[in-house]
Structure 1
């Protein structure tokens, strides 16, 4: 039987994928007490990496859609940290979003809103979080967005 959060995700048409494996010598998450620190999740979908540079080859709305895919991967990692029971999630504490963008692009917050809005839509008040949204000259594999997160679990 699906829990409260996964039922809400299903209503939104989202099924969490298996938590992505790390691409190098690091772990996907570390739990310290009741906090889970999730490594950066990069923008991807069924077709592969979502690549591009905001302000050059992508619009802020396209970037926000890419950021939403990062949020889905973050939740998949949080679910793994919860032993498969996403209802152990207490709240999203903080997201740090990196946007592959040109020097004159200034809508990084609008891009990362794609993840923030999704977290609140999917998790309600438990999805409200502190946040940073910063520009990056480039990101791994040329992806558009990378987001890391801190979650509180029980």
Structure 2
């Protein structure tokens, strides 16, 4: 099997979903020059938002990491819809993860690793990126995590 993003996704057992439509007045992606900006993605799966609530108040760090991973899957789904071919991704430049958490929760980096680890697994070296992991008081629809990305594209 060749080492493509699609083959890596298949090896991970990941099938990218149809990307979610915007929930407000914005677009899912914007391309400018050789950059693709992907709007914040929630942990939306087959059942809707899969992980709801606050880290540090009922949502475990493991569930938060799983939510971040699902957000990253949705980032790639949006990228595929915008680009047509994930092989156009040169690299993930920047990832920003927002963690819905209590004021004393301090493991945002560990939670957002769910997204970072997935992107490296799926894209190899192209998936290594700069990153911010930020704790917030709330997220849309009560989601536990939201992830946005900036991708360099060919």
Q: TM-score range by the shorter chain?
A: over 0.9
Unmatched runs of 5 consecutive residues or more in structure 2: none
- 3-state SS, counterpart of residue 76 of structure 1: helix
Aligned structure 1 segments of 4 or more residues deviating by more than 6 angstroms: none
Is 1:36–1:151's contact at 8 Å kept on the other side of the alignment? yes
User: Aligned runs of 1:5-154 on 2, under 5 Å?
Assistant: 5-49=5-49, 50-82=51-83, 84-154=84-154
Distance 1:108 1:35, change over 3 A: same
Q: If the length of structure 2 is used for normalisation, what is the TM-score?
A: 0.95
- Residue by residue, what CA displacement relative to the aligned partner does 1:31-65 show, whole Å, maximum 9, x if unpaired? 01010001000112212112010001111111000
2-side partners of 1:92 and 1:103: how far apart?
30
Give yes or no for contact 1:3–1:86 (8 Å, CA) kept in 2. no
Post-superposition Cα deviations, 1:102-121, rounded to whole Å, max 9, x if no partner, equal 00000000000000000001
What are structure 1's unaligned runs of at least 5 residues?
Answer: none
CA separation in 1, counterparts of 2:92 and 2:134? 19
Aligned residues: 152
Query: Equivalents in 2 of 1:128, 1:40: separation in Å?
Result: 19
TM-score (ref. length: structure 1): 0.95
